[in-house]
Structure 1
Amino acid sequence: MATATRRRTDGPLRSTLVAAALAILGLGAQQVTTLPAFLLDPRLIDAPTEASIASRALLLILGFVGLALVGGLYLAVSGRGWSYVDLRFPTRREWGYVLAGIVGSIAFYVLISLLVQALSLPTAENQVSMYIGDDQTMVLVMIAIVFLFNAPTEEFLYRNIVQKRLYDAFSRLQAVAIASVIFGLIHLPVYATLSESLLATTVPVAVVVGGAAIFGFLYAKTENLLVPIAAHAVFNGVQFGLLYIALEYDLETAEPSTSLLVDLLTAVPL
């Protein structure tokens, strides 16, 4: 990883455009790599919860594979190679950052969820929830996918590639901010198609930006990709774990005070 005092080798505009292009390419690659899943089970297109668990899992996994392919292709084309990837077993200090990231992301999630509920803010449906429905088995499958594919590939592309690319022209904190905004903006089209208003689209996008900033900060402070991967995976794992409990005990049809858990889980993106 480059140090904080490294010589800037790229202009701000070019660096930002390259970072944005990489993020967009990641989104585009997902549309291509997921095609086999749609071909194998067309129900994924208009009735995803009726598709088999294997088909839904394959779709999500292939989407994350697309992110990894873009990151790997960039390393090859740019000549940076795999030595550019900041991956090593965390030190005791870095495990402290992992813990702080988990606590911080959960606290952020809870506060935003409560704010959304208190202000009765509209919010777009979570795209992943479209493939889960009320299937408890699929929730457990999602926990495995989060640890094995989701967190590793997203952190690899958007932190170790996109954010680190911005270090060529910006300070670490500036790079975290810009990369987080880019990460949020690429989610804009998805949430726009799932919402009925601009506000309902803006709320989840803003939450995505905040979450990305937390994981981006962890990466900037530790220069170790495994730190944000671990924090990200555990954070999402906790969310799906709570969702499993909600479905197991049918909290959605319970008293209002109890069913709030389900509302909080669906109010903010996973």
Structure 2
Amino acid sequence: MKGFVSSRLHPFANLALLLLLTVATLCIAGFFTMVFNKLLFGVGMQELGNVAQNPQGHPNGWGVLMLSQGVTLLVMLGGAALGLAAVTGYRWSEYFTPRRPVRAQWLLLAALLIISSLPAMAVLIEWNQGIHFPGFLSGFEEWAQAKELELKKATEFLARLNSTARLLVALVVLAVIPAFSEELFFRGVLQRNLVQWFNSRHVGIWLAAAIFSAIHQQFFGFVPRFVLGLVLGYLYEWSGNILVPMAAHFTQNAFQLLILYAQQRQWSAASFDPDSTESMPWYLVVASLLIGAGLLWYLREQMEGTRPEDEPTQLRTLGSTGVAVRQAGAASAGARTLSHDGVDATRSEG
């Protein structure tokens, strides 16, 4: 597949191109948002801003917000990530899953890792909600608190799941689309290029996780989301397949939505708030940490271990330097191969 630009661009150039594509796809997302809201809810361009500011005062406020958020995330982030791969000449499967097919148990264990980590994450949420910035950052703290309150109100409004139809819409918009688009963007493109730029998987993963958390503009929830970004980043780095962090990300959002739905339908006597700062019992936190650490260790061993039976014919394999090479006799002369870090190599069979 031939792209519009070279596939050998410096990672900085790739990230600059990603930024340009994000601006373009944001404009496209805005256009589609206006068109779909007009067609489905009769909300025009001028009225759309008013509905976004006060969705409770509009009969279709919930639907307008859901549609706007879903289209924006899907087209802006997902479109920019897929667009970068396309214009640089890569097939999407080659760019985002450069190693081997994912094993079903990895997806299930990644989901279990997220669920088991919730008690430990609750401790981080509690701590992060209570931090205070130094005096010279008082202005930033006031802004961050106001932004936190604004986003919390919007989240609470979107989380009013008073029907099965709303639950299904919420699962698509708040779980499926973020898992797909955010993972393609932050792990598949941003992290990949940061790892290659700094020639360090750890630096790339940590920087991508910090940007992933900061972009949500919830600084009193920065640390828990940063830790989540680290987990997702390492899952992608170890597995070499974007489906693994997608499964974990989907589980993170979908599990909370299902519990909220159960609570609102009065199927559960216990109340649940995904952003709650209420202290968790210490034994649940300890169990969460132990189970989470064990699952992380097991997943790393399974994903990074080379097992011949997992590798189909002509599969790309990684050398000790991180450069992909073909198995003997598997590649044609001059064929391009790709490592997870985006390094191309050619090898002639002679």
* Aligned twin of 2:202: 173
Under a length normalisation based on structure 2, what TM-score does the superposition of the two structures give?
Answer: 0.56
Change (3 A) 1:102 1:23: farther
Query: Quick one: distance in 2 between partners of 1:112 and 1:26?
Result: 36
User: 1:110 offset after TM fit, Å?
Assistant: 2.0
Change (3 A) 1:103 1:243: closer
Change (3 A) 1:103 1:246: closer
Say if 2:75 is the partner of 1:61.
no
Query: Quick one: distance in 1 between partners of 2:120 and 2:25?
Result: 26
* Aligned twin of 2:173: 145
User: 1:157 offset after TM fit, Å?
Assistant: 1.2
User: 1:223 offset after TM fit, Å?
Assistant: 0.7
Change (3 A) 1:27 1:126: farther
* Aligned twin of 1:233: 250
Say if 2:79 is the partner of 1:84.
no
- More deviation in 41-50 or 148-157? 41-50
The one-letter code sitting in structure 2 at the alignment partner of 1:63 is T
Structure 1's unaligned 5+ residue stretches are 1-7, 192-201
Identity of aligned residues (%): 20
Query: Quick one: distance in 1 between partners of 2:213 and 2:187?
Result: 13
Is this contact kept in 2: 1:71–1:161, CA < 8 A?
yes
Query: Quick one: distance in 1 between partners of 2:256 and 2:24?
Result: 24
1:102-148: CA deviation from partner (whole Å, max 9, x where unpaired) = 2465244322234357x488654337515415342334421233443
Query: Quick one: distance in 1 between partners of 2:209 and 2:20?
Result: 13
- More deviation in 161-170 or 214-223? 161-170
Change (3 A) 1:104 1:78: farther
1:151-204: CA deviation from partner (whole Å, max 9, x where unpaired) = 11111111111111222223111111011112222223xx4xxxxxxxxxx212
Secondary structure of 2:160's aligned partner: coil
Tell me which of 174, 182, 186 is aligned to 1:158: 186
Tell me which of 115, 134, 146 is aligned to 2:160: 134
Tell me which of 243, 258, 265 is aligned to 2:275: 265
Ranked by relative contact order (alpha carbons within 8 Å, sequence separation 6 or more), the top structure is 1
* Aligned twin of 2:52: 45
Query: Quick one: distance in 2 between partners of 1:46 and 1:9?
Result: 42
Under a length normalisation based on structure 1, what TM-score does the superposition of the two structures give?
Answer: 0.70
* Aligned twin of 1:199: none
- More deviation in 53-62 or 162-171? 53-62
User: 1:209 offset after TM fit, Å?
Assistant: 2.0
The one-letter code sitting in structure 1 at the alignment partner of 2:72 is G
**Larger Rg computed on CA atoms:** 2
Is this contact kept in 2: 1:218–1:227, CA < 8 A?
yes
- Cα root mean square deviation, aligned: 3.7
Query: Quick one: distance in 1 between partners of 2:96 and 2:190?
Result: 12
Secondary structure of 1:169's aligned partner: helix
Is this contact kept in 2: 1:101–1:215, CA < 8 A?
no
Query: Quick one: distance in 2 between partners of 1:68 and 1:183?
Result: 14
Structure 2's unaligned 5+ residue stretches are 1-7, 133-144, 279-350
